[in-house]
Structure 1
């Protein structure tokens, strides 16, 4: 049986923020950004909301019809675009999410600086499955939904896996490690992964 997938809209914003917040509470990167678990429970959702707003404005959020899983995608052009009016997006993110938390700015800078340029591609920014529904193949169905289009259109795809475990899952979908790990200062390692389109 297939997984029904639709494009999320503004009306789905709170559902998507909640999904991301729940799914990433115990993620190594979220734990690094917000090391205190109690503080993470009260603040983490603001970072997820900022990410959702960016993707609702400039990308696409795929959502399973039952609301149990979502994937945030951005179509990245081949050429880099400078920030408008010299805006420092990492600083802006920190100030809007958690002004006293330099790690919000640090993670934004590291991810932006490591992102590949020069070839248009689909960027899987985040994917979340409700904790009680993990292991059912919902995440893989969401990723395949876009990778099938990438294959048809000859587009590569990119992501940063936040753990070795998730990197292994993405390998099964055709992604390969870029040989350039992203090490957070005194924190976990992220795994940038690239996927060439398949004929």
Structure 2
């Protein structure tokens, strides 16, 4: 059975933030950013909302029709992109006293490929009730099919070895050097070259 997907809008903001908050609350990277459980409970949804804001304003967010999954994407142009002060501004908007918000933004920005335009999968979340049923793969494939048609690469950072394995099955390749969060987990930068069209 196929997964029905549509483009999310402002009216989906609350539902998407809830999906992201629940989906990443146990994630090793989120728990590094917010090592105190009470701090995580208070501020994690604010961080997720900030990522959604970037996706809605600079890219796009896909959501399943039944609201069980979402994917945040941003088209990235070739060349050196972004203001060097963006990580500091991001921290200020999310959690001003938490230096790890800025730190992770700087580390991932430094690793992000800049020589070719590509589609950047910022985040993807699937409700626990449907995990393992192909919802996440369908959300990603929805954009990767267009990337293949347009000859466009794609990029992401996997936040665990488990998710890295999923992305490898979808054609992404680990770039070889992880993002090392000080005293915390690794993130795995992954790149996917567009695949040639299949001849029928």
Q: Flag whether TM exceeds 0.5 (same fold).
A: yes
Residue of structure 1 equivalent to 2:123: 126
Residue by residue, what CA displacement relative to the aligned partner does 1:3-61 show, whole Å, maximum 9, x if unpaired?
00000001111111110000000000000000012220111000000110111001010
Q: CA–CA distance in 1 between the matches of 2:71 and 2:81?
A: 24
Instruction: Kindly indicate whether residue 72 of structure 2 is the aligned counterpart of residue 75 of structure 1.
Output: no
Report the Cα offset of residue 82 of structure 1: 4.6
* Paired residues of 2:81 and 2:114 also in contact (CA < 8 A): no
In 2, Cα distance between equivalents of 1:117 and 1:82: 10
Q: 1:35 & 1:91 partners in 2: Cα distance?
A: 20
- The whole-number CA distance in structure 1 between the counterparts of 2:81 and 2:192 is 22
Cα RMSD, aligned residues only:
1.0
Is 1:11 matched up with 2:11? yes
Segments ≥4 residues shifted beyond 3 Å = none
Instruction: State the distance in 2 between where 1:130 and 1:42 align.
Output: 20
Distance 1:44 1:174 in 2: 30
Q: Structure 1 residues 67, 82: closer, same or farther in 2, change over 3 A?
A: closer
* 1:43 match: 43
Structure 2 residues without counterparts, runs of 5 or longer? none
Structure 1 residues 82 and 72, CA gap change in structure 2 (3 angstroms): closer
Q: What is the CA–CA distance in structure 2 between the aligned matches of 1:99 and 1:149, rounded to whole Å?
A: 38
SS at match of 2:123: strand
**Match in the other structure for 2:141:** 144
- 2:97 corresponds in structure 1 to 100
Structure 1 unaligned segments of length 5 or more: list them.
none
SS of equivalent residue, structure 1 residue 3: coil
Separation of aligned partners in 1, 2:165 and 2:14: 30
CA distance in 2, matches of 1:88, 1:74: 19
SS of aligned partner of 2:124: strand
Aligned length: 196
